[in-house]
Amino acid sequence: MAKIFPKIWFGDRIVDSADASLHVGSAAVLYGLSVYTVFPVIHIGSGFSIFRLGEHIERLQKSAKLIGIELPDVCTSMDRFTTIVEQLVDANSLGTTVFARATIHVDELVPGTRAK
């Protein structure tokens, strides 16, 4: 069973998961314009390891490009993306192995399925 942790990255910062939302008229909601990847964050002793994060972010980037979604800045820098995952692990006080999901949504209120 999936667990939603209390802190997530939404937009450009860490927020309470209850405060993150997409408008019902957004392209992500109306047309399913989003891409995602899921990767394990493995708990090891007092730390953690992120399994093949480079390959996951590369696949996310390629998926977005394929359907014409502009990448947010956070997804264009491997170092930045890694830092955010680490911040989320700390913010949620993870003490176990979890599967993290990174999703890019088209949140513009646009008619039709234009991804930009």
pLDDT value of position 38: 95
- In this prediction the pTM is 0.83
Separation of alpha carbons 78 and 32, rounded Å: 26
Tokens standing for residue 89: 């692990």
Q: Which fold has domain 7-105?
A: D-amino Acid Aminotransferase; Chain A, domain 1 (3.30.470)
pLDDT value of position 87: 93
Q: What is the pLDDT of residues 76-96, one digit of tens each?
A: 888 999 999 999 999 998 888
pLDDT value of position 61: 92
- Of 53, 46, 25, 33, the C-alpha closest to 111 is 25
Residue 105: other Cβ atoms inside 10 A: 18
- Of 92, 100, 102, the C-alpha closest to 42 is 100
Which residue ranges make up each domain of the chain? 7-105
Q: What is the pLDDT of residues 34-67, one digit of tens each?
A: 999 999 999 998 889 999 999 999 999 999 999 8
Percent of the chain with pLDDT over 90: 53
